[in-house]
Amino acid sequence: MRIERARGTRDFLPEEMRKRRLMEAKMRDIAEKWGYEEIRTPTFELAELFTLKSGEGILKEMYEFKDKGGRHLALRPELTAPVIRMYVNELKMAPKPTKVFYFGNCFRYEEPQRARYREFWQFGAEIIGSDRPEAQAEIIALAFYCLKSLGIKAELHVGHVGLIRERLIDANVRNDKINRVMRLIDKGEREAVIEFLTGIGAKKELINDLICLVNLKGEDALKEARERKIIGSDSDALNELEMLLELLGYYDIVYTLNLGIARGLDYYTGMVFEIYEVGGRLGAQNQICGGGSYRLAALFGGDDTPSTGFAFGFDRLTEIFSLEEKEQNRKSVVVVVPIGERNNTERDVIKEAIKIASKLRDFFPTHLDVMRRSLSAQLSYANAIQASFAVLVGKNEIKEGKVTLRNLNTGEQEKMGVDECVERIKTCFEDER
């Protein structure tokens, strides 16, 4: 009986893994150059970590279970909560700001669709200890430059949840009601917002102002909000947002101001942003990154600590990342070929072949036959894996203290010492680059 893989998961073949590792390396390189350090959290956590953050409803979306000790655990559905839990437990005494990045798999029990799986990967970064405009601008710029390193063109939308919250607070809307409104806005349910506010007795002026505010987009959005007197000149959120937008200009980052971006969770306190793929390759589900400023540490037993961060949907990035021609090629490969009677290669030849392969592996990806195949079968395998060179080792080579180096692209071959063989291959590979 053939066992299929679990629904919503994937097998990654070598070609796909080369692509994913290359993308990961490019993004890690950017994060490290910006002063961020890598961390990693457990694949499963106490389920309470996620219900505290997102409410009991998230249990329906998670792989959650009781372990043999009766503890309620869950495979992590995202990485922000584990990172802040780690910060509270392990890093709260670290110098501020604490700048970290992470890459890991997450799990959600939802209907699989294109670029959305039950096991998926996130790449993200957090600045813990600051949510000032400088930190906000840096975290957006870091996300932007990660995409730039991958050659992915995208559209950045920036907003600020404080503008929406301030307007609701000014109208004396209770905090629990504000959170409900934010969740509806986050889902894009404008009619439901109107219905809910009407149901709690909100004035028509507030409803009109709020709908107008969340529909404002583009360079004149703030100007129009002021003219309509939806935002006051003394707004802290407005002053913070204007400073952020100025700083983004210093990073030469093009953005769209979108005051309708919201988050349905009350710990989001300020700037929010979303990044969308440009080109239509992901269809309607084209968001590839989301982030913002939040205060989550106190919820997990720590001090009230401001933070700013983002997370990429890594799997969506792999859908649109294109390898350059020079990156599509496999690393140049060498095959060591012990020569002897079929199925009875002499031990001294095998011994010498292992020694030579061990030396070559200090410099190049090197294969050594482990199936006792004939010379022709070994060379056929070398061609199948697109090896560049075959290093032939037989009794004659051992007597002369040499090897036969065959260029599999040209068919030329020559006997030489092992050190000369290494240098010859090095030179050829460098010329190819």
CATH value at residue 184: 3.30.930.10
Give the pLDDT confidence score for residue 343 in this predicted structure.
52
Give the pLDDT confidence score for residue 334 in this predicted structure.
95
User: Do 228 and 348 fall within a single domain?
Assistant: no
Low-confidence ranges of the chain (pLDDT < 70): 264, 323-331, 341-345, 432-433
User: Do 205 and 106 fall within a single domain?
Assistant: yes
- Domain range for 179 is 14-325
Q: Look at the chain and report how many structural domains it folds into.
A: 2
> 9 in a domain, yes or no?
no
User: Do 311 and 244 fall within a single domain?
Assistant: yes
Residue 45: CB atoms within 10 A of its CB come to: 17
Give the pLDDT confidence score for residue 418 in this predicted structure.
93
Rounded Cα gap, residues 360 and 334, in angstroms: 8
User: Do 275 and 366 fall within a single domain?
Assistant: no
User: Do 320 and 336 fall within a single domain?
Assistant: no
User: Do 234 and 268 fall within a single domain?
Assistant: yes
Give CA separation, 221 vs 156, 239, 257, in Å: 15, 14, 7
Please give, one letter per residue, the 3-state secondary structure of the chain: CCCCCCCCCCCCCHHHHHHHHHHHHHHHHHHHHCCCEECCCCCEEECHHHHHHHCHHHHHHCCEEECCCCCEEEECCCCHHHHHHHHHHHHCCCCCCEEEEEEEEEECCCCCECCECCEEEEEEEEEECCCCHHHHHHHHHHHHHHHHHHCCCEEEEEEEHHHHHHHHHHCCCCHHHHHHHHHHHHCCCHHHHHHHHHHCCCCHHHHHHHHHHHHCECCCHHHHHHHCCCCCCCCHHHHHHHHHHHHHHHCCCCCEEECCCCCCCCCEEEEEEEEEECCCCCCCCCEEEEEEEEECHHHHCCCCCEEEEEEEEHHHHHHHCCCCHHHHCCCCCEEEEECCECCECCHHHHHHHHHHHHHHCCCCCEEECCCCCCHHHHHHHHHHCCCCEEEEECHHHHHHCCEEEEECCCCCEEEECHHHHHHHHHHHHHHHC
User: Do 377 and 242 fall within a single domain?
Assistant: no
User: Do 260 and 375 fall within a single domain?
Assistant: no
Q: In the listed set 275, 301, 325, which residue is the last one of a domain according to the structure?
A: 325
> 428 in a domain, yes or no?
yes
Q: In the listed set 286, 309, 325, which residue is the last one of a domain according to the structure?
A: 325
CA 25 from centroid of its chain's CA atoms: 11
Give the pLDDT confidence score for residue 302 in this predicted structure.
94
Q: In the listed set 280, 310, 325, which residue is the last one of a domain according to the structure?
A: 325
Q: Are the C-beta atoms of residues 129 and 88 closer than 8 Å to each other?
A: no
**Neighbouring C-alpha atoms within 13 Å toward the C-beta of 424:** 20
User: Do 302 and 376 fall within a single domain?
Assistant: no
Give the pLDDT confidence score for residue 148 in this predicted structure.
94
Rounded Cα gap, residues 9 and 105, in angstroms: 11
Give the pLDDT confidence score for residue 57 in this predicted structure.
85
User: Do 64 and 175 fall within a single domain?
Assistant: yes
Residues 6+ apart with CB under 8 A from 214: 164, 185, 190, 193, 259, 260, 262
Give the pLDDT confidence score for residue 284 in this predicted structure.
78
> 7 in a domain, yes or no?
no
Rounded Cα gap, residues 134 and 95, in angstroms: 17
Assign residue 341 the CATH number of its domain: 3.40.50.800
Give the pLDDT confidence score for residue 342 in this predicted structure.
54
Sign of the Cα pseudo-torsion (12, 13, 16, 19, in order): positive
> 148 in a domain, yes or no?
yes
